[in-house]
């Protein structure tokens, strides 16, 4: 149901997107919003989801979180959570979805410490 931004809006949105990533100090917030906003902006004709998941994992790895793959059997839940965030402006289901996968990837290990600034 999400309709991507038009090409003019994409040109305006991407610099703001990169500013948000640069200025956000909490790595978990960067991960969730970085992935969501990239696929929301949808700057390319194809591959936005793959690039969004790659960016998510780069941000996770840089913060000490495990590389997280969206399992094929979780694809519908993943897309539904993104759709809820896009259409209903509710990021909580997407956040909880990623949290569950990250915790599963950590297999009982504690979450990485968040650096204080």
Higher pLDDT, residue 34 or 114: 34
* Average pLDDT value for residue range 6-10: 92
In a domain, 116, yes or no: no
Tracing tokens 């100090």 back to the chain, one arrives at 25
In a domain, 95, yes or no: yes
In a domain, 15, yes or no: yes
In a domain, 2, yes or no: no
Each residue's pLDDT tens digit, 48-79: 999 999 999 999 999 888 899 999 999 999 99
Q: Please report the pLDDT score of residue 24 as a whole number.
A: 94
Catalytic member of 2, 26, 35, 42? 42
In a domain, 117, yes or no: no
Domain CATH for 25: 1.10.3290.10
Specify the pTM: 0.85
In a domain, 27, yes or no: yes
Structural domains counted in the chain: 1
Q: Please report the pLDDT score of residue 103 as a whole number.
A: 87
In a domain, 1, yes or no: no
Each residue's pLDDT tens digit, 79-92: 999 999 999 999 99
Query: Is residue 42 annotated as part of the catalytic site, yes or no?
Result: yes
Annotate the chain with DSSP letters as a single string: ---PPPHHHHHHHHHHHHHHHHH---HHHHHHHHHHHHHHH--SSS-HHHHHHHHHHHHHHHTTPPP----GGGHHHHHHHHHHHHHH---HHHHHHHHHHHHHHHTTPPPPPPPP-
Whether residue 91 contacts residue 48, with contact meaning beta carbons closer than 8 Å, is answered with no
In a domain, 111, yes or no: no
Annotate 4-32 with DSSP letters as a single string: PPPHHHHHHHHHHHHHHHHH---HHHHHH
Give the residue numbers spanning the domain of 88: 7-106
């Amino acid at each position: 149901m999400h309709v991507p931004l038009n090409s003019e809006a994409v040109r305006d949105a991407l610099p703001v997107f990169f500013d948000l990533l640069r200025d956000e100090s909490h790595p978990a917030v960067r991960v969730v919003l970085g992935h969501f906003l990239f696929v929301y902006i949808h700057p390319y004709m194809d591959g936005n989801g793959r690039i969004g998941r790659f960016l998510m994992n780069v941000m996770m790895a840089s913060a000490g979180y495990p590389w997280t793959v969206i399992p094929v059997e979780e694809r519908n839940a993943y897309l539904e959570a993104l759709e809820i965030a896009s259409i209903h402006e509710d990021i909580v289901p997407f956040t909880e979805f990623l949290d569950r996968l990250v915790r599963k990837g950590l297999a009982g290990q504690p979450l990485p410490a968040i650096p204080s600034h």
